[in-house]
Structure 1
Amino acid sequence: MTDDDIDTSDIPPLTDEFFSKAKLRMPSSPIATVSVPVDSETLKWFQSKGEDAEQHMTAALKIYAAAQQTSAAMRQSA
């Protein structure tokens, strides 16, 4: 399935009002400090999004890990 195959017609558009009320919620779990090599293009992209680059990278890794867990669970149940 590709993105074009997904029917999004029932999803209302996100308005300026929505974004004015939106808040970034970061996980409250304990954080471990690690050193991970990141290619310069990826690091520059995160840094271009603002001073919270490290927090955004942490959130992206958490989302990726959760998706991998979901994918593994789906493969096991198939």
Structure 2
Amino acid sequence: MPDGDLPDLSTPYWAERFAKAEVTRGRPKAAVTKVSTTLRLDPDILAAYRATGPGWQGRINADLRRALGL
């Protein structure tokens, strides 16, 4: 789009629209949040989970839930 076709964002119309716009940053907050903790695991257990690729921490969480019947 050529520069001549762009609206002038310094006009009162756009200044008012920008002033009313809600500012959001980052991802939306989850309904259920996680708690950061430190957990000591055997190296082979950790290596096996990491080898499954991205999402390995979530898989550990799911396996713990299943083991505890939650």
TM-score, normalised to structure 1's length? 0.45
Identity %: 12
Change (3 A) 1:62 1:29: farther
| Structure showing the higher helix proportion among its residues | 1
Deviation at 1:59, TM superposition (A): 0.6
Q: Which runs of 5+ in 1 are unaligned?
A: 1-27, 68-78
More relative contact order, 1 or 2 (CA 8 Å, 6+ apart): 1
Runs of 4 or more above 4 Å deviation: none
In the alignment, the residues of structure 1 paired with residue 58 and residue 69 of structure 2 have an alpha-carbon distance, to the nearest angstrom, of: 17
Q: Report the number of matched residues.
A: 40
Amino acid at match of 1:47: R
Q: Which has the larger radius of gyration?
A: 2
TM-score, normalised to structure 2's length? 0.50
